[in-house]
Amino acid sequence: MELVERSVRSWLASGKESELEETVSGVTNGKITLVDVVKALGPYLTSEEDEIRTKGVDFLSSVLGKCPPEKLNRQAVRVLAVFYCSKLEDIETTTPVLKGLSFLVKFPPVDSSDATDILSALFKHIRMKALVQSTRFYVFAIVDTLLGKHLKALQTMGKEFLTGYVNLAEGEKDPRNLLVAFAVARTILTQFDISEKIEDFFDITFCYFPITFRPPPGDPYGITADDLKKALAACLSATYAFGRLGIPVFLEKLTAGSPTTKRDTLQTMSLCLPVYGASVARDLGRKIWSSMKLEILQPTDPQTESEALSTLQVFVRTLQGTSEDIVDLAKDICLECIDVLREPEKAQAKAAMKVLCEFVTVSPMLSRFSISQATQHLVGLFHNPDEVPTRPAVVLLLSDLVFASRSASSRTSVSVSPSGEDTKSDLPLGPAKDDLLGVFTVSLKTSNTAEPALQALQGMVTTSGLFSDEELGFIVHAVDELIQPNDIEEISENALSLLSDISVNAPHHVADQTLPLFFAQLPDRAPAKEAQEERAKYRRALSALSTLCSQPTLFEILVVRLTTKLDLVSRSTAGLSDTEPVAAYAHSILTAISKTLSSKVEKKAADVPKYVDRLLPWLFKLFIEASTSEGSSVLIDSRVLRVAGRIVSLVVETLVLERQQRFVDKLFGTFLDGNVQEITDGLLHASGDIAFTPLDPAANADQRQAVVLFAAAVMPLRKDVAIPAKDLSSFLQSIVVWADSERSTQIQREATWHILASIVNKHTEEKSVASFLAILLDTYRSSRLHNCDVPADARRSIIKLWTWVTKALLVRTHPIALEFVNCLFELLDDDAVDWDAAQALGELGSGDDVLTKRNFAVIKVLHAQKFFNSILPRILEGAKACDGSRRESAYLVALASLINAVPKATYSTQMPSLMPLLLRGLDLPDPAIRASIIATLTATLKDGTSDNTAVSLYASTLVLAMLKNCIFADTPEPRVRIAALRYLSLLPGAVRYDLLHPYKANVLKELAKTLDDPKRAVRKEAVNARTNWYKYNG
């Protein structure tokens, strides 16, 4: 007891928090009771001096606030409640009393009589206007808590409570209090009988609409306008009784407000209308529609328009309610829109169609009505000879309608039976189908209506169950007439995608009618070099075929027809002096297959794996024949082989483990042992005269080319596929020797790198591979890589090979990789190949098409980051030498190519230290390096998240460097100019204006020169950059 008295005294004097804590802990552990506290406070609570009394009450309230709930019994609560209620009369102590009450009402022993007493006292004594925000907050908190805990008791208070609360809440302005007030209002509106007080509640809620609150900068309370909007919207949509009063308010705000207010109003209306109900919507409907109409037919901006459309949908749905027939108003709106469609080419017609499209989604009944009305009108218009000029617009409008009803039917067609007849009548488009089909097929015959018609047809075709097989055939026929390949310039993409969509369900129509048209366009002999038109023609046909033939049946046809064609074409070189056009034709044919295949693989089509037996043997036969035949065949052209390789890779990639194993066994049997019948499935037989030994170092140039296909087949092998070489180590060594041969060409070397990288990466654990790596690091390194006597050209290839092997190890973060990296670092001191080694270091961090997840390579996450972090310090060290030596430049080159290769997250934090080096790199003469440095800088700029302090620091230097790189006279490479201009166009968005202000005039002047660049692509970037600098203002 004395303890309490002492604490009280010292708290009143000092206000120290610790005294309060002491008392609270006393209460918590039972040493002190609250009664003791009250007793100790006795004299202060009744003191004559205002200040002491206030402090006394405050102490009590503060203790109460920290007191654990079980420490107060019923008795104590009652006493405190009575005490506080009586204290409310005392104006001086209002704040601490309310604070105490806000804590007290949370205690469980408070019962309903306390609740009503407290509220009555509040209503009687509190004048909100006289209180500050924090005090008013206590009032709202008290009401909120009591509403939550003693709803019943409050309901029985009835009118007294409602009137009292309205008086309290009236005129509140602070967002913190409003947030609570809105929650309270929502509870009252939903839980109380407010029929008599509806206007009062309307006044204290709708007066806040729309919320225009903007939180002050650095607002510690973190209340956003959005929080308030949501809370208020919950109030406004709490009761149907607001309907008649609320709608006029909404409409007024909608007409007069700013775009933001309009959107806010529309969103709130969407919430409220369903609550207000059908009868309100019907009574006030005409007014609502006439306001909404303006927002849709003459929209302020697209955002508001789409908001208005979705509100309209809610409105119509509410209007319609559960009514059996179409409500008059809905009908009128629909007809009004159709009236607007009289001028289909005008902007409002589009908007009106949007309204109708919303109708389509509301209910099946309205959908049928609006579709039949709209199609009837528009189809009539279409066939009216006076309206021919508006046909494109009519078709566009109908196409919108088709797509809207497609999405409507996909939502409702769950119960549709598959039996044909019935489904048609269920689909909203069903009754109008024939009319529409007529309009669209007629439209296909005129060029300005063909494109929209194709889109509309696509919408209809993809509405499941709409068309019969016969009708689909009819459509295919009509489209074929459009793309009759003789007289068209370009084949419409829309036509192709429409045909593709049809082929999903009815491939036979496309196979029978369309494909022959295109196949007929492919000549058996390649057009001569000068025959540009014919070349363009077969290319169009091929590209159309590859787009069309994704569907399994069609793809099979494509493969059969094109491989036959390829065979024919490749043999037709007799008597030609220039075989290049033939090779180009073969290349185009193979590209068509590979494009389709690639899109199928991406879509994980199930029919790809079977082509290992159907397509690949054929391909291998063609190419092995070509490489072993007398005289050069066009097929061994590197470019042709590359595409063929892509096809092989794509198919092998999709095989399961066993099939890959079977395939690779045959592959090695053919390429290593010369058993050509294996990989060609017996299409070829080993004949005594010509041996197929492409991997023999002595093999002739033609046979060597076949290794490209071999590499393509090895690349996508799974990790668990055993490489069927007798001794893997000596096989790999022989590949290296083969690659090092002077007779190897670039593409052949590339093939070997891919083989090495792929096998090393997937089989690192095997002893034979380890011994191969050891040989590389030991004898190969000293005799080839580091041997200055080897010609520089050969060494460049060796560096490439080395890079690939290193990369294969790096991506799986194998420890031995670092030794390989070290060997490259040592080369930076070698004048002959230093820059190549430097670039190789960068390439190590970059991605490629060989070591990928798709190719089943073993890849560890974050390997690029680890690599980057391990070698960056070393490169920085070397680059900082700053002596202008060749060695320093080599390090800069390494840095530039490395940084360009790795993801930007790896280096963005290091940017401040990298920036000076990169800027020095911009002075290097090599354009490729400058382009990659600029690309790096651009990547860091674009990423808005990383802080641009480094850029700001060097902004002026950057501007000058970029200006130098974008002028035609100084920089002949368009690539660099484009990169520099792109960077300049981004700078204004990233750097504070005041930093670059001094340069603005100069930049604009210099950029004016770039506007006259000889290259169009450069000029385009120049215009962008200059525009951005014009707009750059403080």
Partner 1 sequence: MNGEVFNPNPTVFALSKRSGRKSKFETGQSLWIDNDSQLEHTEEDSEEESIDQDEIYDLIRSIADPEHPNSLEELRVVSAEQIDVGHNQVTVEFTPTVPHCGMSTLIGLSIRVRLLRSLPQRFKVDIRVKPGSHQSELAVNKQLNDKERVAAALENPTLVETLEKCLDTAGMQNDLYT
Residues engaged in binding partner 1 (CB under 8 A): 297-299, 301-302, 343, 345-348, 350, 392, 396, 452, 490, 529, 531-537, 539, 580-581, 584, 587-588, 591, 639, 973-975, 978, 1008-1009, 1011-1012, 1014-1017, 1019-1020, 1023-1024, 1026-1027, 1030-1031
- Strand intervals (E) in 371-484: none
Cβ-based nearer residue to partner 1, 392 or 988? 392
Output phi, psi for 617, to 5 deg. -55, -40
Task: Report the distance separating Cα 500 and Cα 494, nearest Å.
Answer: 10
Looking at residue 418, the DSSP 8-state letter turns out to be: T
In the complex, the smallest distance separating the C-beta of residue 394 from partner 1, rounded to whole angstroms, is: 13
Task: Report the distance separating Cα 257 and Cα 265, nearest Å.
Answer: 9
Task: Report the distance separating Cα 204 and Cα 210, nearest Å.
Answer: 13
In the complex, the smallest distance separating the C-beta of residue 790 from partner 1, rounded to whole angstroms, is: 31
Q: Which residue has the tokens 């950029």?
A: 1007
**Helix or strand (DSSP H, E) at 714:** helix 707-714
In the complex, the smallest distance separating the C-beta of residue 989 from partner 1, rounded to whole angstroms, is: 13
Cβ-based nearer residue to partner 1, 91 or 347? 347
Cβ-based nearer residue to partner 1, 240 or 999? 999
In the complex, the smallest distance separating the C-beta of residue 528 from partner 1, rounded to whole angstroms, is: 11
Task: Report the distance separating Cα 1021 and Cα 975, nearest Å.
Answer: 11
User: Residue 764 has which token pair?
Assistant: 């690192």
**Quick one: which of 692, 701, 537 has its CA closest to 621?**
692
User: How many CA atoms, within 13 angstroms, populate the side-chain half-sphere of residue 591?
Assistant: 15
- With a CB cutoff of 8 Å and minimum separation 6, the contacts of 36 are 1, 4
418 preceded by a cis bond (ω within 30 of 0): no
Task: Report the distance separating Cα 322 and Cα 313, nearest Å.
Answer: 15
Cβ-based nearer residue to partner 1, 27 or 349? 349
In the complex, the smallest distance separating the C-beta of residue 574 from partner 1, rounded to whole angstroms, is: 20
**Quick one: which of 263, 200, 209 has its CA closest to 234?**
209
Find out whether 937 and 958 touch, Cβ atoms under 8 Å: yes
Cβ-based nearer residue to partner 1, 485 or 724? 485
Cβ-based nearer residue to partner 1, 529 or 743? 529
Cβ-based nearer residue to partner 1, 505 or 543? 543
Task: Report the distance separating Cα 321 and Cα 278, nearest Å.
Answer: 6
Cβ-based nearer residue to partner 1, 136 or 587? 587
3-state class (DSSP) for residue 73: coil
Radius of gyration, CA atoms only, the chain:
41
In the complex, the smallest distance separating the C-beta of residue 364 from partner 1, rounded to whole angstroms, is: 31
Output phi, psi for 38, to 5 deg. -60, -45
Cβ-based nearer residue to partner 1, 220 or 302? 302
Cβ-based nearer residue to partner 1, 38 or 351? 351
Task: Report the distance separating Cα 630 and Cα 653, nearest Å.
Answer: 33
Find out whether 253 and 210 touch, Cβ atoms under 8 Å: yes
In the complex, the smallest distance separating the C-beta of residue 594 from partner 1, rounded to whole angstroms, is: 10
In the complex, the smallest distance separating the C-beta of residue 451 from partner 1, rounded to whole angstroms, is: 8
Cβ-based nearer residue to partner 1, 189 or 542? 542
Cβ-based nearer residue to partner 1, 217 or 389? 389
User: How many CA atoms, within 13 angstroms, populate the side-chain half-sphere of residue 624?
Assistant: 29
Cβ-based nearer residue to partner 1, 451 or 678? 451
In the complex, the smallest distance separating the C-beta of residue 576 from partner 1, rounded to whole angstroms, is: 14
Cβ-based nearer residue to partner 1, 767 or 1031? 1031
In the complex, the smallest distance separating the C-beta of residue 1024 from partner 1, rounded to whole angstroms, is: 6
In the complex, the smallest distance separating the C-beta of residue 972 from partner 1, rounded to whole angstroms, is: 8
In the complex, the smallest distance separating the C-beta of residue 197 from partner 1, rounded to whole angstroms, is: 41
Q: Which residue has the tokens 């060749």?
A: 886
Task: Report the distance separating Cα 844 and Cα 871, nearest Å.
Answer: 11
In the complex, the smallest distance separating the C-beta of residue 560 from partner 1, rounded to whole angstroms, is: 22
| Contacts of the segment 566-571: beta carbons below 8 A, 24+ positions apart | 566/590, 566/622, 567/622, 568/524, 569/524, 569/525, 569/526, 570/622, 570/626, 570/633, 570/634, 570/635
Task: Report the distance separating Cα 406 and Cα 132, nearest Å.
Answer: 59
Please report, for residues 532, 623, 643, 702, 977, the alpha-carbon distance to residue 640 in angstroms, rounded to integers and kept in the order given: 20, 10, 5, 13, 33
In the complex, the smallest distance separating the C-beta of residue 992 from partner 1, rounded to whole angstroms, is: 20
3-state class (DSSP) for residue 850: coil
